[in-house]
């Protein structure tokens, strides 16, 4: 699988027609701003490839000429200095294009941004960073578009308000303690981080299975930790504990043939998508048959314009559609609207680790009832950040 960026927004005639059916109103922007935040945490967040010593967020604020405001979020977890850089990319490369004209709909802006910035992505060696900034802008545009017509975004996209969620990011240190706390909060599905050594991974998974019981949905995420051979070996060792899926066991840019070989050798369903860009690449992984779970990250690539078609394609091919998110509250609630709008089986992940930039924004959506959350009927994504609360974490860049 190649991690290349499809600079086309994938706008087929059907998708243009679908936008027309939504009866969206044109958007003329007066302001486009990026706001950078960084919140300290008492315990670092561990992954197999790196550690987060704080929790960053880059929020996108857009105001239309009629005074309405939409919010988005750009993925910015790595490297540790990435938040400020992505904000500058938004202000210097994305905002001037968005302010040039009136947009008929967000997808039109999404496609134009990718086309206009394609060469810059090649020249700078940063197609991923540009795609992330475009994605955050697209989220804000869709929030604004839904607010203009007075509908919640999940409804505008043709979905229903209720979704299933799972507690993710359960770390290799004392995972039972965190899983139990999340279970008491109302979560009924859980995902353990692996990739920290064979014995540790097996011991943690065994402990969680014993704690949660045989019927509780339990997933594992290796964060690209292993080679193809190691992935096959670890899949065999983890299979007796019946995880629902094995996420990114090897690098996301491994050839599709390697993923197909792993899928054929593994008794555990494979999951991936957070590190894939471009609708064509997502269609390839669905068509390959190697992946049972498709996980685009709407703040890394695509926003709603890219990820809604991906979600519909995944669901139509009987895959679980489970949007990825591990960041602040705007992106989390946007991911919930993405899942609700697309429909079909699957979950939205909610990070279990402390994050004030998630909790202060998305607090009402962090306590599910029996593993499910109902989104509000408020227009757009239904939330507006309280800047008075967030200002203590805001940075100049």
Q: Tell me what the mean pLDDT of segment 349-366 comes to.
A: 96
Q: Is 243 in the same domain as 112?
A: no
Structural domain boundaries, residue 131: 27-150
Whether 3 maps to a domain, the answer reads no
Structure confidence at residue 20 (pLDDT): 52
Q: pLDDT-based confidence at 5, cuts 50/70/90? A: low
Q: Is 42 in the same domain as 182?
A: no
Tell me the pLDDT tens digit for each residue of 150-185. Answer: 999 999 999 999 999 999 999 999 999 999 999 999
Q: pLDDT-based confidence at 13, cuts 50/70/90? A: very low
Tell me the pLDDT tens digit for each residue of 26-40. Answer: 999 999 999 999 999
Residue 357 vs residues 29, 45, 175, 244, 329: alpha-carbon distances, Å: 26, 14, 23, 29, 6
Q: How many domains, in total, are found in the chain?
A: 2
Q: In this predicted model, which residue has the larger pLDDT, 14 or 211?
A: 211
Structure confidence at residue 90 (pLDDT): 98
Nearest of 222, 294, 228 to residue 255 by alpha carbon = 228
* DSSP codes, 110-121: HHHHHHHHHHHH
Whether 1 maps to a domain, the answer reads no
Q: How far apart, in whole angstroms, are the C-alpha atoms of residue 331 and residue 341?
A: 15
Q: In the numeric block, which tokens belong to residue 314?
A: 């995944």
Q: How far apart, in whole angstroms, are the C-alpha atoms of residue 47 and residue 80?
A: 14
**Is residue 12's pLDDT more than 50?**
no
Whichever domain contains 278, its CATH number is 3.20.20.120
Within the chain, strands assigned E span 27-46, 51-64, 69-74, 102-103, 162-170, 190-193, 218-221, 246-247, 270-272, 293-294, 320-321, 347-351, 372-374, 394-395
Tell me the pLDDT tens digit for each residue of 101-142. Answer: 999 999 999 999 999 999 999 999 999 999 999 999 999 999
Whichever domain contains 48, its CATH number is 3.30.390.10
Q: Is 116 in the same domain as 213?
A: no
Q: In the numeric block, which tokens belong to residue 346?
A: 């699957």
Q: Is 76 in the same domain as 184?
A: no
Structure confidence at residue 48 (pLDDT): 77
Structure confidence at residue 42 (pLDDT): 86
Q: Is 176 in the same domain as 201?
A: yes
Last residue of one domain, picked from the residues 105, 131, 150: 150
Last residue of one domain, picked from the residues 150, 179, 202: 150
Tell me the pLDDT tens digit for each residue of 287-309. Answer: 999 999 999 999 999 999 999 99
Q: How far apart, in whole angstroms, are the C-alpha atoms of residue 37 and residue 180?
A: 30
Model pTM score: 0.95
Query: CB under 8 Å to 177, separation ≥6 — which residues?
Result: none
């Amino acid at each position: 699988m190649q991690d290349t960026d499809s600079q086309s927004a994938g706008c087929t005639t059907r998708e243009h027609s679908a936008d027309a059916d939504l009866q969206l109103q044109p958007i003329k922007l007066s302001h486009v701003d990026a706001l950078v935040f960084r919140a300290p945490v008492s315990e670092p967040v561990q992954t197999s490839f790196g550690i987060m010593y704080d929790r960053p967020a880059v929020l996108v604020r857009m105001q239309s000429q009629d005074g309405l405001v939409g919010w988005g979020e750009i993925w910015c977890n790595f490297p540790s200095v990435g938040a400020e850089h992505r904000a500058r990319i938004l202000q210097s490369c994305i905002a001037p294009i968005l302010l040039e004209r009136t947009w008929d709909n967000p997808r039109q802006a999404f496609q134009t941004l990718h086309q206009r910035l394609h060469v810059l992505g090649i020249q700078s060696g940063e197609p991923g960073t540009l795609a992330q900034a475009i994605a955050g802008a697209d989220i804000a545009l869709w929030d604004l578009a839904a607010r203009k017509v007075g509908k919640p975004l999940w409804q505008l996209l043709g979905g229903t308000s209720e979704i299933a969620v799972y507690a993710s990011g359960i770390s290799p240190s004392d995972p039972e303690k965190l899983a139990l706390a999340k279970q008491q909060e109302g979560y009924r599905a859980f995902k353990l981080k692996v990739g920290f050594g064979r014995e540790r991974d097996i011991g943690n998974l065994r402990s969680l299975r014993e704690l949660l019981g045989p019927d509780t949905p339990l997933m594992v995420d290796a964060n690209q930790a292993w080679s193809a051979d190691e992935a096959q070996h670890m899949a065999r060792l983890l299979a007796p504990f019946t995880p629902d899926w094995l996420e990114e066991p090897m690098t996301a840019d491994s050839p599709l043939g390697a993923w197909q070989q792993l899928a054929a050798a593994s008794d555990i369903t494979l999951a991936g998508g957070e590190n894939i860009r471009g609708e064509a690449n997502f269609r390839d992984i669905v068509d390959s048959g190697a992946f049972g779970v498709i996980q685009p990250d709407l703040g890394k690539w695509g926003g709603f314009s890219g990820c809604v078609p991906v979600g519909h394609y995944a669901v139509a091919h009987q895959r679980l559609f489970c949007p990825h998110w591990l960041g602040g509250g705007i992106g989390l609630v946007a991911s919930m609207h993405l899942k609700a709008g697309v429909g079909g089986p699957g979950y939205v992940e909610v990070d279990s680790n402390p994050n004030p930039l998630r909790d202060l924004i998305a607090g009402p959506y962090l306590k599910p009832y029996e593993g499910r959350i109902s989104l509000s009927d408020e227009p757009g994504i239904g939330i507006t950040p309280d800047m008075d609360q967030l200002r203590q974490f805001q940075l100049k860049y």
